[in-house]
Structure 1
Amino acid sequence: MADMGRVAERKHLAQPREMRLLSCLFLLSVSSLAAASMPVSKNYGSWLVTSVSSVDGANGGDASVILAQGDEHNDLEVRWNEGSASVNVSMYIDKCMGEESFEASYSMETDKWLQMSDKEVQTRLRANILAWLDRANRTCASPPAFKLNALEAAATDFTTRLRGFAGYSD
């Protein structure tokens, strides 16, 4: 009989541990969702590559991959957002001629972007950015000094991250 009492006592003590374990597992899963939404960034000279798996912190929603330099007034950006079927490349200069701004952009289907080699992505980005900078230099009195140093490494990182998230857009 004493053995039966010990078994019952152990079962009773085990129950709160199981509940604590479930509570801990729940907290770990919630915290991993929040951690999944933290941006992951890396600098390549003046370029910053950032990815975020979930802006809303749940269900992997709103994944984004961004390659950028500049500030809120003048920026050069390559962006993919979950739910979008394309990668968008843009340049914006706030004040170019008087109050006019300079804008240039293009979009490419995500699948086509991912079918290109890293070298093809780098070559296309560099050519478009150089063409835009040439137009901006002819149009703007003092265009910002966007730098192309380390574009290759930054573009490769962007494309690698995009490959990891592309499944979200299907």
Structure 2
Amino acid sequence: MSAESWEHCAYCVPIVFCFLIRDKKILLIRRAREPYKGEATVPGGRKRRGESLRAACAREMLEETGYTVGDLTFAGILHVFRDGEDREYVSYYFVCHDFSGELRESDEGPLFWAGLDESLTLPGIHPSYVRILPYIRSGTTVDMTLHVSSDGRSTTNPDSEGI
């Protein structure tokens, strides 16, 4: 038997996002930095080495919003391939209705509450948010793969959506 080569294995960057929802409203952040500077989406960030996904999500929510999260419900995965990049991005989504503390902005960008319906048509809303929110609202697990071409256009693999 030969040893398996790691040469063709993917280098994945794990990212966590959280849909903080209360009274039919969602907390959004307008990103102050790249990637996606100026776009609105749910708060989140990169998982650190040694953290569980839930611990990373709890840390990111505290850092970016000031909220301490309670029960985090796993909502799914978005896997993104970008032309010309060696790494791939795997975003893990959580939903939380149970959070406490005082809303506090960070240098990641301004925070604001939006109605769930209204959020889909906000100027500068991130396209992935628009794709994912219907899954979140219906309670269907997100399992999506997105390919981003070198010209910035994205296509979703239709065989990958929902499970």
TM-score normalized with structure 1 length: 0.28
Q: Which has the larger radius of gyration?
A: 1
Higher RCO by CA contacts (8 Å cutoff, separation 6 or greater): 2
User: 1 or 2, which has the higher strand percentage?
Assistant: 2
